């Protein structure tokens, strides 16, 4: 149980275009989903926390107009990188929790590697 | 400011021996700690966790030790198996009132050799 699917796993796009990444909880309802970014040889950095039906909470330094997050249902959250530039190239990974309890275990998707040309 | 640190980027251990992965943190307010394991092209998978009020938690071959005074935790794997070869991330959770935020270390690549 507790499977999180992330799509696509790898995307290449031209500078200036927008890219949407989907994160789905397959066998549970995710009250909260998290979006992380990872640069090579660095740790996972939390970008934002998204709760179903409400606006995402962004971490300091993360541009909310650049990284649009939508959590329209209890099984789906999307991250849209708008007007992508080469510096946005990174590994993006989502996670989800079930009950919203503060000690809930986060279950991760496999991640999306974004390359902006 | 790296609040969670894994100072060893890699570790090599012989099959059957003990693997010890270390993690240090700076924020004494963290409520609980977790270890995740990550294989290439997959997301991190949860291994084991420990509350800040405990000093040890054991699950099969995996044991996590927490030393709050030293702000240090470690993951012991015994006996180590080739399938344990992966990147291990230490994470610390902070209760923000609803869902807990996790702060991750940079990971340690464990290689279990035959």
Interface contact A105-B49, CB threshold 8 A = yes
Per the rule left: phi > 0, alpha: psi between -120 and 50, beta: everything else, A2 is: left
Where residue B110 falls among pLDDT bands split at 50, 70, 90? very high
Q: What is the pLDDT of residues A85-111, one digit of tens each?
A: 999 999 999 999 876 565 678 899 999
The whole-chain average pLDDT of chain A stands at 90
Q: What is the pLDDT of residues B28-66, one digit of tens each?
A: 999 899 999 999 888 899 999 999 999 999 999 999 999
Select from A2, A98, A103 the least CA-distant residue to B54. A103
Instruction: Please report the number of interchain residue pairs, chain A to chain B, with beta-carbon separation below 8 angstroms.
Output: 70
- Is residue B96 within 8 Å of B29, Cβ to Cβ? no
The proportion of chain A whose per-residue pLDDT surpasses 70, expressed as a percent, equals 95
Which 3 state secondary structure label does DSSP give B64? Answer: strand
- Is residue A38 within 8 Å of A44, Cβ to Cβ? yes
* Distance, CA of A43 to CA of B7 (rounded, Å): 12
- Nearest chain A CA: its distance from B114 CA (Å): 26
Give the pLDDT of residue A43: 86
- Is residue B46 within 8 Å of B38, Cβ to Cβ? no
Residues 46-85 of B with CB under 8 A from A: 46, 49, 51
Give the pLDDT of residue B97: 66
Give the pLDDT of residue B98: 61
Give the pLDDT of residue A1: 63
Select from B107, B65, B63 the least CA-distant residue to B89. B107
The proportion of chain A whose per-residue pLDDT surpasses 90, expressed as a percent, equals 68
Interface contact B43-A4, CB threshold 8 A = yes
Q: What is the pLDDT of residues A6-15, one digit of tens each?
A: 999 999 999 9
- Nearest chain A CA: its distance from B18 CA (Å): 25
* Distance, CA of A19 to CA of A13 (rounded, Å): 8
Cis amide linkage into residue B111, ω under 30° from 0: no
* Distance, CA of B37 to CA of B83 (rounded, Å): 11
- Nearest chain A CA: its distance from B3 CA (Å): 11
- Residue range A68-96: mean pLDDT, rounded: 94
Give the pLDDT of residue A39: 84
B54: Cβ contacts below 8 Å, ≥ 6 apart: B66
Give the pLDDT of residue A18: 96
CB contacts of B54 in chain A (<8 Å) are none
Residue of B4, B32, B106 lying closest to A41 (CB–CB): B106
Interface contact A43-B106, CB threshold 8 A = yes
User: In the predicted model, is pLDDT for residue B112 greater than 90?
Assistant: yes
B8 at A interface, C-beta within 8 A? no
Give the pLDDT of residue B99: 61
- Residue range B69-88: mean pLDDT, rounded: 97
Cis amide linkage into residue B41, ω under 30° from 0: no
Output the CA–CA distances (angstroms, integers) from residue B58 to A5, A35, A93, A106, B61, in the order listed. Answer: 29, 29, 28, 19, 8
CA-nearest residue to B98 within chain A is: A102
Residues in a beta bridge with A5:
A24
Sign of the dihedral through C-alpha A114, A115, B1, B5: positive
Most confident of the following: A58-62, A73-77, B10-14? B10-14
Most confident of the following: A13-22, B34-43, B91-100? A13-22
User: In the predicted model, is pLDDT for residue A19 greater than 90?
Assistant: yes
- Is residue A79 within 8 Å of A94, Cβ to Cβ? yes
- Is residue A94 within 8 Å of A35, Cβ to Cβ? yes
- Residue range A25-33: mean pLDDT, rounded: 89
Where residue A24 falls among pLDDT bands split at 50, 70, 90? very high
């Amino acid at each position: 149980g507790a499977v999180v699917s992330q799509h696509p796993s790898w995307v290449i796009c031209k500078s200036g275009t927008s890219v949407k990444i989907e994160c789905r909880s397959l066998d549970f309802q995710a009250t909260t989903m998290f979006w992380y970014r990872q640069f090579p040889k660095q740790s996972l950095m939390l970008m934002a926390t998204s709760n179903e039906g409400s606006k995402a909470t962004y971490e300091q330094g993360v541009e909310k107009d650049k990284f649009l997050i939508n959590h329209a249902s209890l099984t789906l959250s999307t991250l849209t990188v708008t007007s992508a530039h080469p510096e946005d190239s990174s590994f993006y990974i989502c996670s989800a929790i079930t009950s919203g309890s503060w000690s809930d275990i986060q279950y991760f998707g496999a991640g999306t590697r974004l390359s902006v040309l | 400011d790296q609040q969670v640190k894994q100072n060893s980027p890699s570790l090599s251990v012989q099959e059957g021996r003990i693997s010890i992965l270390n993690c240090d943190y700076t924020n004494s307010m963290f409520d609980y700690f977790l270890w995740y394991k990550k294989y290439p092209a997959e997301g991190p998978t949860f291994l084991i966790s420990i509350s800040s009020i405990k000093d040890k938690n054991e699950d099969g071959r995996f044991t996590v030790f927490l030393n709050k005074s030293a702000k240090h935790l470690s993951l012991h794997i015994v006996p180590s198996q080739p399938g344990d070869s992966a990147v291990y991330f230490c994470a610390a959770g902070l209760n923000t009132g609803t869902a807990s935020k996790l702060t991750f270390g940079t990971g340690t690549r464990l290689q279990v050799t035959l």
